[in-house]
C-alpha cells in the first residue's frame, strides 16, 4: 500500500477515490502542521496539498516521497526544482478551480463598481447614504485580461454578457483562438493603457515575477481598476502604491505573499481584499480533489505524466497518445499471455509521434509492469527493462503505410526454453478518442479501449460468437459492443466484446475451454 498524506481540508472524494482503488492508504489531517505530519509519516509516497508550502525541509523529511499533487493550478508554494533534484514529480490540476476564480473576478468588479460592501455596512448601521454610493456600470467599458489560459478564457466568456470590449494579452494564444473568444489580442502596454479594468491571470515564475510594475501601471487611465486573483508576486506593490496616489487607481485583491492570519502589506492600497477565496467553492474543491486523486492513480498505474509540471514534457504532444501507449502495452501484454516471460519489446511511432519516442516509453513500460517506477527517465527506463531481462528496440516506422499518428507495439516472450510467442497491437487517436486498430493479424478493428473487454481468438467456424454470448448471458453479463473479424488468411476469428461488468478468470477459462480459444483474456480499461 502506498501512503498518501493530505494535510488540508480537501473534499473527501480524493480520499475515497484513492482508497477505492485499493492501492493507497490515505492519512488526511486538516489544519495539521505539515512538518509534524511529515515527521510522523516518513514512508509517505505522495502528498496532496492546497496552499501548504512544500519546502526542501518538508521534502527531506519524506525520503520515500515520489509525487506532490497541488489540488489547484498555481504551484509556486512548492519548490519544484528541489523536488526534481530529488526525483519527485510535481503535478497540478489546471482547470479545476478555473470557473470559481473567473466568477470571483466578476463578483469583485461588480461589488466594487456598486460599492456593495461599504453600502451594506452603512445600511446595517441605520444610515441612508444613497448619494455617497453612486456607482458605475460595466456595459460599454473595456476589460483587459492578462493571460488567456483556463481562467482568462472563462473571464472573457463571463464578461461577454455585460457587453464589454475585451482585450487580451497572451504570447501563446493564436489570433483564431482569441477571435473565437471575442478577444482582441494586444501588447501589454496597450492593454494597460486602454482598459477600464485589468485582471491578472498568469502564474508566478521567473518570467512573470514583478511584471506588473510602474512602467505598466503608469499607462492606466485615471480611476481604472486592477484586479489580482492570480499571484501576489507578479505585482510590485510599491509601484502600485505610487501610481495609485497619482491616478486614483482602484485595486481589488485576493492573493498575498503568505496565506495566513496577520497584517497584509496591501491593506493600505486595496479597495477590496479577500482571504484568497478564488478556489473556495464547494464545486471547485470537489473537482480539484477528484482530479488530484485521478492524476496520482494515472501516474502510478499508467505512467501518464501530462500533469507533471517539473518534468520536461514535450510541447506539441497530445496527452491522449500517452494514454494510448499505456493502453496498447496493457492489451498487448494480455494478448501475449501472462504465462509468457517477456523478452523483447519493439515499438514503432508513426507520423509526428516519432520525435516523442523516448518520452512515450514511460507509459509503455508502466503498461507492461506494475513494478515500474514512473519517475524514471528514459535511461532509467531502459535499465529497468534490461534488469527484467527485456530488450527494447525502437523500429523505424514506414511512412508509406499511411498509418498517420499511430503506435505499433510488438512483444516477444518465452513460454519455455523452446517455445516463443508473439503479440502485436496498433492504435491511434481520432478526434480525441483512443482507437485500437489492429491486434495480431486482425486488422481494421477501430474499437475504443474503454470499460470491460473480453477477448477470444479461435479457429473460425459458425456459431462460436453465439456460444460466447450465451455464456455471458448465463452470468447476467450484457454486451455493449462487439468486433468479430477474420484474420488475413480467413482461418481464425477474433471476438472483442465490451461488456457491462468484469468477467472474472473462472468464466474466461470456461469459455476458453468451450470454444477452444488460442487467446482468451479480460481486461478493464479506465
Domain ranges of the chain: 2-94+284-301, 98-273, 318-448, 450-526
Pick the more confident residue, 401 or 248: 248
Please indicate whether the domains covering 2-94+284-301 and 98-273 agree at the CATH topology level: yes
Q: How far apart are CA 398 and CA 487, in angstroms?
A: 22
pLDDT of residue 387: 79
Closest CA to 494 of 451, 424, 445, 450: 445
State how beta strands 420-430 and 391-394 pair: unpaired
Q: Residues 6 or more apart from 456 whose CB is under 8 A from it? A: 468, 494, 495, 511, 512, 515, 517, 519, 520
pLDDT of residue 326: 93
Q: Distances from the Cα of 198 to the Cαs of 87, 102, 165, 220, 370, in angstroms?
A: 39, 13, 12, 9, 49
Pick the more confident residue, 373 or 455: 455
pLDDT above 70: residue 273: yes
For domain 98-273, give the CATH number: 3.40.50.720
How is 73-87 classified by DSSP, letter by letter?
S--TTB-HHHHHHTT
Q: How far apart are CA 190 and CA 169, in angstroms?
A: 9
Q: CB neighbours (10 Å) of residue 155? A: 30
Tell me the whole-structure pTM to 2 decimals: 0.63
Three-state SS for 158-196 is HHHCCCCEEEEECCCCCHHHHHHHCCEECCHHHHHHHCC
235 grid coordinates: 505585482
- Local confidence band at 472 (pLDDT 50, 70, 90 cut-offs): very high
Task: Fill in the DSSP letter of residue 52.
Answer: -
Q: Give the chain's radius of gyration (CA, Å).
A: 28
pLDDT of residue 316: 76
Closest CA to 248 of 289, 325, 292, 196: 196
Closest CA to 517 of 473, 453, 468, 469: 468
Provide the mean pLDDT of the chain. 91
- Local confidence band at 313 (pLDDT 50, 70, 90 cut-offs): low
pLDDT of residue 82: 93
CATH of 318-448, one of 3.60.9.10, 1.20.140.10, 3.30.1330.90, 3.30.830.10: 3.30.1330.90
Chain segment 104-137, per-residue pLDDT in tens: 999 999 999 999 999 999 999 999 999 999 999 9
pLDDT above 90: residue 335: yes
pLDDT of residue 373: 66
Q: What percent of the chain has pLDDT over 70?
A: 98
CATH of 2-94+284-301, one of 3.40.190.10, 3.30.70.920, 3.40.50.720, 3.40.50.300: 3.40.50.720
Q: Distances from the Cα of 167 to the Cαs of 105, 148, 234, in angstroms?
A: 16, 10, 19
Architecture of domain 450-526: 2-Layer Sandwich (3.30)
- Local confidence band at 308 (pLDDT 50, 70, 90 cut-offs): confident
How is 203-222 classified by DSSP, letter by letter?
--STTTTT-B-HHHHTTSPT
Collapsing DSSP states into helix, strand and coil, what is residue 23?
coil
Closest CA to 303 of 398, 367, 354: 367
Amino acid at each position: 500500500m502506498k501512503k498518501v498524506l493530505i494535510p488540508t481540508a480537501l473534499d473527501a472524494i480524493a480520499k475515497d477515490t484513492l482508497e477505492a482503488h485499493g492501492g493507497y492508504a490515505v492519512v488526511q489531517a486538516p489544519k495539521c502542521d505539515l512538518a509534524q505530519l511529515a515527521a510522523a509519516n516518513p514512508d509517505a509516497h505522495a502528498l496532496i496539498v492546497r496552499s501548504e508550502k512544500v519546502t526542501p525541509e518538508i521534502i527531506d523529511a519524506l525520503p520515500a516521497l515520489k509525487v506532490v499533487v497541488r489540488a489547484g493550478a498555481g504551484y509556486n508554494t512548492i519548490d519544484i526544482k528541489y523536488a526534481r533534484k530529488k526525483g519527485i514529480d510535481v503535478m497540478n490540476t489546471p482547470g479545476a478551480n478555473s470557473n470559481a476564480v473567473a466568477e470571483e473576478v466578476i463578483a469583485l468588479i461588480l461589488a466594487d463598481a456598486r460599492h456593495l460592501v461599504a453600502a451594506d455596512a452603512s445600511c446595517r448601521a441605520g444610515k441612508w447614504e444613497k448619494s455617497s454610493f453612486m456607482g458605475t456600470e460595466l456595459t460599454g467599458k473595456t476589460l483587459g485580461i492578462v493571460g488567456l489560459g483556463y481562467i482568462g478564457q472563462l473571464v472573457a466568456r463571463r464578461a461577454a454578457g455585460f457587453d464589454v470590449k475585451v482585450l487580451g494579452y497572451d504570447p501563446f494564444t493564436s489570433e483564431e483562438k482569441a477571435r473565437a473568444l471575442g478577444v482582441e489580442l494586444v501588447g501589454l502596454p496597450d492593454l494597460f493603457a486602454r482598459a477600464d479594468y485589468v485582471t491578472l491571470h498568469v502564474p508566478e515564475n521567473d518570467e512573470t515575477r514583478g511584471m506588473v510594475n510602474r512602467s505598466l501601471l503608469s499607462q492606466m487611465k485615471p480611476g481604472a481598476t486592477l484586479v489580482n486573483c492570480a499571484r501576489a508576486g507578479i505585482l510590485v506593490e510599491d509601484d502600485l502604491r505610487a501610481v495609485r496616489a497619482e491616478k486614483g487607481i482602484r485595486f481589488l485583491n485576493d492573493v498575498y505573499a503568505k496565506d495566513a492570519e496577520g497584517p497584509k502589506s496591501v491593506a493600505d492600497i486595496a479597495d477590496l481584499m479577500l482571504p484568497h477565496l478564488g478556489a473556495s467553492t464547494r464545486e471547485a474543491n470537489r473537482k480539484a480533489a477528484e482530479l488530484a486523486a485521478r492524476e496520482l492513480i494515472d501516474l502510478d498505474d499508467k505512467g501518464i505524466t501530462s500533469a507533471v509540471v517539473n518534468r520536461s514534457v514535450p510541447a506539441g504532444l497530445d496527452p491522449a497518445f500517452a494514454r494510448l501507449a499505456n493502453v496498447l502495452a496493457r492489451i498487448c501484454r494480455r494478448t501475449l499471455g501472462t504465462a509468457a516471460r517477456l523478452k523483447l519489446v519493439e515499438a514503432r511511432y508513426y507520423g509526428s509521434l516519432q520525435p516523442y519516442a523516448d518520452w512515450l516509453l514511460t507509459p509503455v513500460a508502466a503498461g507492461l509492469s506494475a513494478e515500474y517506477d514512473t519517475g524514471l527517465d528514459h535511461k532509467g527506463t531502459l535499465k529497468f527493462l534490461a534488469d527484467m531481462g527485456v530488450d527494447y528496440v525502437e523500429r523505424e516506422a514506414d511512412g508509406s503505410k499511411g498509418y498517420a499518428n499511430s503506435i505499433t507495439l510488438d512483444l516477444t516472450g518465452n513460454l519455455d526454453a523452446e517455445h516463443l510467442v508473439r503479440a502485436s497491437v496498433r492504435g491511434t487517436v481520432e478526434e480525441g478518442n483512443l482507437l485500437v486498430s489492429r491486434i495480431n493479424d486482425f486488422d481494421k478493428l477501430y474499437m475504443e479501449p474503454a470499460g470491460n473487454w473480453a477477448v477470444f481468438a479461435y479457429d473460425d467456424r459458425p456459431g462460436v460468437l453465439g456460444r460466447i454470448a450465451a455464456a455471458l448471458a448465463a452470468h447476467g453479463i450484457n454486451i455493449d459492443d462487439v468486433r468479430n473479424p477474420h484474420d488475413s488468411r480467413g482461418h481464425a476469428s477474433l471476438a472483442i466484446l465490451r461488456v457491462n461488468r468484469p468477467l472474472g478468470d473462472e468464466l474466461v477459462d470456461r469459455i476458453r475451454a468451450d470454444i477452444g480459444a488460442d487467446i482468451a483474456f479480460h481486461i478493464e480499461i479506465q
